[in-house]
């Protein structure tokens, strides 16, 4: 017997640990099934205190395994086979205890035995009390697991079932599914669209989630001229902004993309306005209003050369000229107080340290509704700017949601889904 007899469908072995967040595993099963994946669930003894095997069996339409002894009959399935039939093993919620057992290599129940026996990629989704999460033992275990190739998601921050506040909440099932889909794209090409359980981007245009909306996107760097041949610039490639414009258009929106100097093709269905400098970008943004949503992805230069030399500046054998800088308009902060402020205003933040704290402060300072923060520190070869993938934190008034490392197109689509969800209920 195989975990899934339908060929091509991604197969997930879901290990449900014992925590209050176990109920969210039920929603995760539903999302995986809706997207065309198959799930086989294993639930620990602790997990069964929170959800029943019957619930998981009904949602997954597969048998649910609870003890090693379920699998003693080799005519059914041995634990080695069960651990290897899946494309991906997901531990959700991964309790502090399960993570510690995985680190120690313990195998005293079905879940831990499968985790020790598997040769498949493992994604662990932790959920626990904030102190347990911050405890040195847990942090050490997570560091070791990550070093050993286990992908451990960051928990969400917010109020917890136990009444405390902090990191340790299980991420929302949609976020977990996005991480699973990204991981599956790496280990086994998906036949099913990994996001097909989400708003329908392929529906008739009038039924797409952003139909009738105007989405304004800025992307790329700006070039701030010094003289006719020299300028101040940065390394932004524009890829993330272009991907967001493409995803918004695919979701049915009318999209205006205001692009700094980049060499990317215009995504289909997108109206593009090319600009050079921050001031040109600001004018183009104001000219494109009104918009329902503005996503300011451009890495706008903070400063421009105060003076523009009409002729190329020459070396004259004297000391080099001083470059005086003037501050550029802050397009995002300006939009936040504009008469035609878009209903949903989203900024990006490229940070090299204290990513979340700095991004939260930026959200307040700039008056944005959301800030999408990414960590641009690290070696140049795998840095975010110019690269193909991104890992971001979406900071809203309600908290922080982390999207694990995935292609920029997947980040774009996940963001557009959130935008569609945010706009929907307020219209009712």
Residues belonging to the active site: 162
28 or 300: whose CB is closer to ligand C5P?
Answer: 300
Q: At closest approach, how far in Å is the CB of 302 from ligand C5P?
A: 6
Binding flag, residue 276, ligand C5P (CB under 6 A): no
Nearest distance in Å: CB 235, ligand C5P: 14
CB of 76 to ligand C5P, least distance (A): 55
Residue 411 contacts ligand C5P per CB under 6 A: no
Would you say how long the chain is, in residues?
A: 428
* Residue 348 within binding range of ligand C5P, rule CB under 6 A: yes
Return d(Cα 39, Cα 62) in angstroms, integer: 7
CA-closest candidate to residue 157, choices 355, 418, 400, 392: 400
State the Cα torsion 231-232-234-236 to the nearest 10°: -50
Supply the minimum distance, in Å, between the C-beta of residue 133 and ligand C5P: 29
Q: Which of 296, 336, 345, 395 binds ligand C5P (CB under 6 A)?
A: 296
Q: What is the rounded CA–CA span in Å between residue 360 and residue 358?
A: 5
Beta-strand pair 389-396/370-375? antiparallel
Please say which residue, 102 or 298, places its beta carbon nearer to ligand C5P: 298
Pick 181 or 349: Cβ nearer ligand C5P: 349
369 is in an annotated binding site: no
Contact between 66 and ligand C5P by CB under 6 A: the answer reads no
Quick one: which of 328, 374, 402, 409 contacts ligand C5P (CB under 6 A)? 328
* Rounded Cα–Cα distance for residues 394 and 408 (Å): 14
Rule CB under 6 A: choose which of 150, 181, 232, 278 binds ligand C5P: 278
Task: Round to the nearest angstrom and report the end-to-end CA distance of the chain.
Answer: 48
Tell me whether the omega of the peptide bond preceding residue 93 falls within 30 degrees of 0, making it cis: yes
Structure tokens at 234: 């940065």
Q: Is 298 in the site for ligand C5P (CB under 6 A)?
A: yes
Stretch binding ligand C5P (CB under 6 A), from 330-338, 380-388, 392-400, 401-409 = 330-338
Q: At what angle do helices 22-34 and 53-60 cross, to 10 degrees?
A: 10
237 binds ligand C5P (CB under 6 A): no
* 3-class DSSP string for 240-293: HHHHHHHHHHHCCCEEEEEECCCCCCCCCCEEEEECCCHHHHHHHHHHHCCCCE
409 touches ligand C5P (CB under 6 A): no
Binding residues for ligand C5P (CB under 6 A)? 218, 278, 296, 298, 300, 302, 328, 330-332, 347-349
């Amino acid at each position: 017997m195989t975990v899934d007899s339908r060929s091509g469908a991604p197969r997930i072995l879901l290990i449900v640990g014992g925590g209050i967040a176990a109920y969210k595993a039920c929603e995760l099963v539903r999302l995986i099934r809706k997207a065309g994946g198959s799930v086989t669930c294993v639930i620990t003894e602790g997990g069964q205190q929170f959800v029943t095997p019957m619930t998981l069996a009904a949602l997954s339409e597969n048998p649910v395994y609870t003890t090693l002894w379920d699998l003693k009959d080799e005519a059914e399935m041995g634990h080695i086979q069960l651990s290897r039939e899946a494309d991906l093993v997901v531990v959700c919620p991964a309790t502090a205890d399960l993570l510690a057992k995985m680190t120690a290599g313990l195998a005293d129940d079905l879940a831990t035995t499968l985790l020790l026996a598997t040769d498949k990629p493992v994604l662990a989704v932790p959920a626990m009390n904030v102190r347990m999460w911050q405890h040195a033992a847990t942090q050490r275990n997570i560091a070791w697991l990550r070093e050993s190739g286990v992908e451990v998601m960051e928990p969400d921050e917010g109020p917890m079932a136990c009444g405390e506040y902090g990191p340790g909440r299980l991420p929302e099932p949609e976020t977990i599914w996005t991480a699973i889909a990204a991981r599956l794209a790496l280990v086994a090409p998906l036949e099913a669209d990994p996001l097909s359980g989400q708003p329908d981007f392929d529906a008739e245009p009038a039924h797409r989630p952003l139909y009738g909306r105007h989405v304004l996107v800025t992307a790329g760097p700006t070039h701030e001229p010094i003289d006719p041949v020299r300028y101040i610039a940065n390394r932004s490639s524009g890829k993330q902004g272009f991907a967001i414009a493409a995803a918004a258009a695919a979701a049915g929106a009318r999209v205006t993309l205001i692009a700094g100097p980049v060499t990317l093709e215009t995504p289909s269905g997108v109206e593009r306005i090319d600009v050079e400098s921050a001031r040109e970008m600001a004018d183009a943004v104001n000219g494109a209003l009104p918009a329902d949503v503005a996503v300011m992805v451009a890495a706008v230069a903070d400063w421009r050369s105060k003076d523009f030399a009409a002729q190329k500046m020459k070396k004259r054998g004297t000391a080099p000229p001083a470059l005086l800088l003037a501050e550029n308009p802050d397009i995002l902060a300006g939009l936040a107080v504009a008469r035609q402020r878009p209903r949903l205003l989203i900024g990006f933040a490229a940070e090299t340290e204290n990513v979340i704290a700095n991004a939260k402060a930026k959200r307040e300072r700039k008056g944005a509704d959301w800030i999408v923060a990414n960590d641009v520190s690290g070696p140049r070869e795998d840095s975010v700017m110019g690269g193909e993938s991104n890992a971001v934190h979406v900071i809203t008034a309600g908290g922080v949601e982390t999207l694990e490392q995935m292609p920029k197109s997947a980040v774009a689509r996940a963001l557009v889904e959130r935008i569609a969800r945010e706009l929907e209920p307020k219209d009712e």
